[in-house]
């Protein structure tokens, strides 16, 4: 198991992906500052008055600790539904973090991407779903497995 670009066999392919990611990040580097209100929301959402704005929150600063190593991927399927990851959710993934036991990771198995909980116990590595309808994936030396990064946040749309 290694950390790198899944399914990309040549250094040229890996460099092309890195260049595309960096170009996209530079193009989209403008910050998004949203108003942060001092009033708390209980059972409903009152119409906030301008005077209640405490500060402005930059979502990039709040959600992304390592911009050069962070990307977003869309989840599909329900294998992680028991931890709140639903099909269509956006996953904020940090490649700079160590993929340790218990972390939710993006992994590529023989070129196919998946999101699962990483298990490293007794010298065995598994990728665990968070839905008992799905089996664990035992990782063997014969498989081409690449850990792309650790999932830090989930953006879930309601309704």
- Nearest Cα neighbor of 17 from 146, 139, 142, 155 is 146
| Least trusted range by pLDDT, from 34-48, 89-103, 106-120 | 34-48
**Counts of helices then strands in the chain (DSSP H, E):** 2, 10
| Least trusted range by pLDDT, from 21-25, 29-33, 54-58, 132-136 | 21-25
Distance from C-alpha of 19 to C-alpha of 21, rounded to nearest angstrom: 5
Structure tokens at 67: 């911009």
Kindly state the average pLDDT of the residues 101-121: 94
pLDDT at 4: 47
Residue 11 three-state SS: helix
Structure tokens at 124: 């065995």
Domain locations in the chain? 2-7+66-155
pLDDT at 9: 47
Kindly state the average pLDDT of the residues 121-142: 94
Residue 7 has pLDDT above 60, yes or no: no
Structure tokens at 114: 């998946």
pLDDT at 91: 94
Residue 129 has pLDDT above 70, yes or no: yes
pTM: 0.72
Which residues have a catalytic role annotated?
79, 116
Mean of the per-residue pLDDT values of the chain:
80
pLDDT at 116: 98
Kindly state the average pLDDT of the residues 6-28: 53
Which fold is adopted by the domain 2-7+66-155?
Umud Fragment, subunit A (2.10.109)
């Amino acid at each position: 198991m290694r950390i790198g670009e899944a399914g990309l066999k040549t250094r040229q392919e890996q460099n092309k992906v890195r260049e595309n990611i960096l170009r996209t990040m530079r193009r989209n580097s403008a910050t998004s500052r949203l108003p942060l209100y001092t009033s708390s929301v209980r059972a409903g959402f009152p119409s906030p008055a301008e005077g209640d704005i405490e500060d402005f929150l930059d979502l990039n600063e709040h959600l992304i600790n390592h911009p050069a190593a962070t990307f977003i991927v869309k989840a599909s399927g329900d294998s992680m539904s028991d931890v709140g990851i639903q099909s269509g959710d956006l996953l904020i993934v940090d490649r700079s973090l160590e993929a340790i036991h218990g972390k939710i990771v993006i992994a590529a198995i023989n070129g196919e991407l998946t999101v699962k909980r990483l298990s490293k116990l007794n010298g065995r590595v598994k990728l665990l779903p968070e839905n008992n309808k799905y089996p664990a994936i035992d990782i063997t030396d014969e498989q081409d497995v690449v850990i792309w990064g650790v999932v830090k946040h989930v953006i879930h749309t309601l309704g």
